[in-house]
Chain A
Amino acid sequence: MPRAGVNLLLGLLLLVAGCDDRPWNNPYPAAEDGQNILYASFRERPKHLDPARSYSSNEYQFIGQIYEPPLQYHYLKRPYTLVPLTAEALPEPRFFDAEGREVSGDDPALAYSVYEIRIRPGIRYQPHPAFARGADGRFLYHDLGPEDLEDLYTLADFPETGSRELVAADYVYQIKRLAHPRLFSPILGIMSDYIVGLKAFARRLDQADRELRAAGGHYLDLTRYHLEGVEVVDRYTYRIKVHGRYPQLRYWLAMPFFAPMPPEADRFYSQPGMAEKNITLDWYPVGTGPFMLTVNDPNRRMVLERNPNFHGERYPAEGEPGDAEAGLLEDAGRPLPFIDKAVYSLEKEDIPYWNKFLQGYYDTSGITSDSFDQAIRVGGEGEVTLTEAMQAKGIRLQTAVNTSIFYLGFNMLDPVVGGYGERQRKLRQAISIALDYEEYISIFANGRGIPAQGPIPPGIFGHVPGKKGINPYVYDWRDGRAVRKSTAEARRLLAEAGYADGVDQETGRPLVLYFDVTAMGPDDKARLEWYRKQFQKLDIQLIVRSTDYNRFQDKIRNGNAQIFIWGWNADYPDPENFLFLLYGPNGKVRHHGENAANYANPEFDRLFETMKTMDNGPVRQAIIDEMVDIVRRDAPWIWGFHPKGFALYHGWYYNAKPNLMANNTLKYRRIDPHLRKLRRAEWNRPILWPLGVAAGVLILLLVPAWFSYLRRIRRPGLTAAGEG
């Protein structure tokens, strides 16, 4: 090869390699090497980063680190415990009757609860152009014209930034934003039932917004409208007034919906021309938290960097038993956050994501079905450990049962499987026994789940573990564990229901049931076949009705589904958040609620209304036990299973403890960038010899071809057919 060609090739290789000895396959810029940066991924671009709109975990992983509601969950303690974040203390409600007289919490005349929240002084917002002021004290960027916006494409293009102290009015402003007609906050409906005056406030804002838009205006100034149930008491104190008792409000106060929003930011983003450049509050958060979003490219990567104005917080000094032994208290009392920056890269496919984790380019990973066998070894007793390959890399495993449930629901409005008579109840109980969810978890979830004994998952108050907690209609307690009742027992119940051997004794026709699913892909075939076989154990014919997601939702809403799969993930760690899924007035068909099975049992509903406003304690537990027993007997759901989350962490990643309720856990994470750099270099040395071998083979092939070529060009007169 000519010298120039060799030089060019070497030059290209060096360019690709980044001109130094760092791994060639390192996807990050060389400037980031050895820095205190956490690397993670996201699968799909977040839809909303506005705390009034955002309601999914892939969005909370960003805004949870930026926005600070008044309360948060203790990182280490279990059961999940609320602690103050920006608040000085956990708010204790005061109770009032309709005339405004203070009453006790159990007074029947109780009409309102008032939560007074006092925030800590001295907390400041991240640097942001919305706060920037000129020498005359006026905001620099609140009256921008089209010419001012010409060269501005992202928030970083604004040269000046400012900040100010967090005040109680910002929290009040955000609660008002829940009713903003252009935001469509997902919790407006539920909060309107509780926060006094919110429903009327939303109507008023809607009208005002219409008038504003008709007049060509953009910014709806919420400070000009009064919301009865929320008021500023003083610079650092505000009150929320709710109808009746609603202890769950404290949990909502730990969610971004109730984080502060400075009106200046709303005003800044509402200017004409900003939305056309995608500079909106929905894309550029502004908060007081430990991190701020500095790169917002949802098509490629999102970057959170340490907020220089962060008010400071310390790593918790206490946890639950075992935390100290696990090294989770080694950083006790140290200032948070530990990392300087978190880089989230868009990674849509499982295979590249998994391989980059193994190469050390992501600090943590979940486990997909494809990589399960590579990562996990399941022992004879069902215990899970990491494979030797994972252990050799220093990877650690953590598992946690999620606070969620996947269940198989019966439409209680259906004439065959629904209803509350003994016949229908026994039919449902028989099917509940026949569906072997232990087998399902083993086959389809790689053992990652535990069979549910009722609607409340472990980790939530009301869940009862062990012998006392089993569903006696489906399980027996034998040899210290829950054992599913036999198919013979299920057949007996089926016969008592009038369907002996799967035949309706009244009509003589075989029992045919319909299973409505959205599963249509080839991967779902085995799962649907499994369901068919479970019903076949009772000689029940199961017909699968597959449809697309939208039609499936229609069926559920209209009550046209018979048997279906559904799930729920906890909003907050309270049994009310699961038991309300079976509360009659929450029925999907009649009330557009979340009770997809349309279950309605007056006794259950009565107990629910009592239980939902109670504080946790033995009395509440007793009522929950009674409620759970009712639904176990009625069996509107086959309780399915609670999935178990598996997470892998590299050896340089510290303070990893699954917290399924907290959204702001990034500040607790600590990494050892030096160790990571060493490991990456060790694991990713470029291997060049196969290229040499390939080049050699190519040359070996080309040599005879070259001679053949020379031979042929010396023979003039080749014909088209080549015979010449």
Chain B
Amino acid sequence: MLAYIVRRLLYAVPILIGVNLLTFLLFFVVNTPDDMARMHLGMKHVTPEAIEQWKADRGYDKPLLYNAQETGMGRLTETIFFEKSVRLFAFQFGRSDAGRDIGHDIAQRMWPSLAIAVPILVFGLLANITVALLLVFFRATYVDAIGVVVLVALMSISALFYIIAGQYVIGKLLHLVPISGYDGGWQALKFIVLPVAVAVLYGIGSGSRWYRTLFLEEAGKDYVRTARAKGLGERVVLLRHILKNALIPILTGVVVLLPLLFMGSLVLESFFGIPGLGSYTIDAIRAQDFAIVRSMVFLGSVLYIIGLLLTDISYTLVDPRVRLS
């Protein structure tokens, strides 16, 4: 298995280079270094000299991808792409174009992101499994039919509606929790209750339907029929046999998400004033801060690759038939 993991990690290198190149090209198609300089220097009284000086100071005064003025490897290394990308592989994110240390910012902002992402994952999982099991238990009855309709309705409504309605009803009308904001320590609890509840409710529609499908698929298999033939009660069949076997795709689906929890939620964080990495990325895109954008995309890619690797490993743990080679 170790050889497999090493091989997968080596595969990741060209993937990360490709992702980095793609981010670089997409960003600089719409933002030239001059645009970035103007954005950072402000709109008033900016002189061409100041723009040139800013570019030189931030290392944006070189060619983007190919430096015809240089010789040998210098043609590739004396470029913005090389200089801005190579240190990422050592996880040196450097300074944002506004001058702040990106690594320090990420270390600070990942905790609020985790503070809402982990409860959303845990409670969401519990809620989705519970609802799905309930519907499977009452399958082909009016409870199942109405349940599926409700789930489809839930998943058809925009996330923004849940957020605004949640803030309006729970925060504004009932005065139960703050509408938005964040604080450290235990004080964070009152701020994360609402976003977590909203996200769990929003996720129930799609999550429960998917899990219901998985459970129904398992319920039709021979071993379930055998279990029933042995005279086991429906509760035992559901919880001990169907749930256990259906957990394999559920768990592997969750494992791939685990590393990405660090990246935060763009919309939730923005509306609830959670100072996490999701809003960090959005702010950077708005401010044309390439240093942060490329760092966050790189970090996201690395975490996704780790997530896929963990998924493969988790397969071997939950299903003894699977072997990595």
B32 within 8 A of A: yes
B177–A186 contact, CB under 8 A? no
Bound CA–CA A24/B173 (angstroms): 12
Cβ of B44: which chain A residues have Cβ within 8 Å of it? 55, 186, 571, 594
B124 at the interface (CB under 8 A from A): no
Say yes or no for B250: interface residue by CB 8 A criterion. no
**Interface stretch of the complex, out of A112-120, A216-224, A328-336, A683-691:** A683-691
Asked whether any CB of chain B lies closer than 8 Å to the CB of A393, the reply is no
**A356, B175: Cβ atoms closer than 8 Å:** no
Contact A352–B175 (Cβ < 8 Å): no
| B47–A686 CB distance below 8 A | no
Q: Is B70 an interface residue (CB 8 A)?
A: no
Stretch of B184-192, B201-209, B298-306 with 4 or more beta carbons under 8 angstroms from chain A: B184-192
B:57-110 near A, CB below 8 Å? 57, 95, 98-101, 104-105, 108-109
Q: Which residues of A contact B105 (CB under 8 A)?
A: 278, 299
Query: In residues 234-261 of chain A, which contact B (Cβ within 8 Å)?
Result: none
CB atoms of A16 and B104 under 8 A apart: no
A residues in contact with B181, CB < 8 Å: 27, 345
CB-based nearest B residue for A685? B175
With contact pairs A278-B105, A548-B30, A550-B32 given, residues A189 and B50 touching in the complex (Cβ less than 8 Å):
yes
- Bound CA–CA A300/B191 (angstroms): 13
- Residues in B whose Cβ lies below 8 Å from that of A717: 228-229
Residue of A nearest to B228 (CB): A717
- Give the Cβ gap from A52 to chain B, nearest Cβ, in Å: 12
Bound complex: CA A276 to CA B270 (Å): 26
Q: Which residues of A contact B179 (CB under 8 A)?
A: 25, 27, 352, 355-356, 359
Measured between beta carbons, the chain B residues less than 8 angstroms from A144 are none
CB distance A713 to B140 under 8 Å? no
Chain B proximity of A10: nearest CB distance (Å): 15
Residue of B nearest to A199 (CB): B49
Whole-angstrom CA separation of A717 from B228 in the bound complex = 5
Flag if A553 contacts B178 (CB, 8 Å). Answer: no
Asked if B231 CB lies within 8 Å of chain A CBs, one says: yes
- Smallest CB separation, B228 vs chain A (Å): 6
In the bound complex, do residue B42 and residue A55 qualify as a contact, i.e. CB atoms below 8 Å apart? yes
Which residues from B are CB-within-8-Å of A182?
57
Residues in chain B near residue A716, CB distance under 8 A: 228, 231-234
- In the complex, whether A45 has a CB less than 8 A from a CB of chain B is yes
- In the complex where A347-B273, A548-B30 touch, is A718 in contact with B175 (Cβ < 8 A)? no
A507 at the interface (CB under 8 A from B): no
B35–A45 touching, CB < 8 Å: no
Of the residues B41, B175, B275, contact of A299 by C-beta under 8 Å = B275
Residues 691-724 of A, flagged 1 when their CB comes within 8 A of B and 0 if not, give 1000000000000010011001101111111110
Do A723 and B271 touch (CB < 8 A)?
Answer: no
A83 contacts B by Cβ under 8 Å: no
Q: Which of A186, A686, A713 contacts B176 (CB 8 A)?
A: A686
Do A592 and B101 have beta carbons less than 8 Å apart?
A: no
* A506: min CB distance to chain B, Å: 39
Q: Is the CB of B48 within 8 A of A592?
A: yes
Partner of A27, one of B42, B180, B189, B220: B180
Asked whether, in the complex, the Cβ of A687 is within 8 Å of the Cβ of B138, the reply is no
Binding stretch for chain A, among B164-172, B255-263, B312-320: B164-172
Enumerate chain A residues within 8 angstroms of B54, measured Cβ to Cβ: 184
- 259-300 of chain B: CB within 8 A of chain A: 270-273, 275, 279-280, 283, 287
Which of A280, A299, A346, A691: most chain B Cβ within 10 A?
A299
B241 contacts partner chain A, Cβ-Cβ < 8 Å: no
Answer whether residue A105 sits at the interface, using C-beta atoms and an 8 A cutoff: no
Cross-chain contact of A592 among B47, B220, B233, B271 (Cβ < 8 A): B47
Q: B176 touching A25 by the CB < 8 A rule?
A: yes
Q: Which residue of A356, A358, A709 contacts B137 across the interface (Cβ within 8 Å)?
A: A709
Closest to A550 in B: B35
**Which residues, 435 to 485 on A, are CB-close (under 8 Å) to B?**
none
Which of chain A's residues have a CB closer than 8 A to the CB of B104? 276-278
Confirm or deny: A198 has a beta carbon within 8 angstroms of a beta carbon on chain B. Answer: no
The answer, among A27, A184, A708, A723, for a CB contact under 8 Å with B178, is: A27
Give the distance in Å from the alpha carbon of A190 to the alpha carbon of B50 in the complex.
12
The minimal Cβ–Cβ distance linking B94 to chain A, given in whole angstroms, is: 10
A sample of 9 more A-B contacts (CB under 8 A), given A16-B190, A686-B175, is A29-B183, A184-B40, A189-B45, A278-B104, A299-B279, A349-B180, A361-B178, A719-B228, A720-B225
Top 7 A-B pairs, shortest CB-CB distance: A299-B275, A722-B140, A189-B47, A27-B178, A352-B180, A720-B220, A27-B181
Residues of A within 8 A of B (CB): 15-18, 23-27, 29, 44-45, 47-48, 55-56, 181-182, 184, 186-190, 206, 275-278, 280, 282-283, 297, 299-300, 345-349, 351-352, 355-356, 358-359, 361, 548, 550, 553, 571, 592, 594, 684-688, 690-691, 705, 708-709, 712-713, 715-723
> Could you jot down 18 A-B contacts, CB within 8 Å?
A17-B190, A18-B190, A25-B175, A27-B178, A186-B41, A275-B95, A280-B99, A299-B280, A349-B271, A351-B164, A352-B171, A352-B271, A355-B171, A356-B178, A690-B174, A705-B143, A719-B228, A722-B141
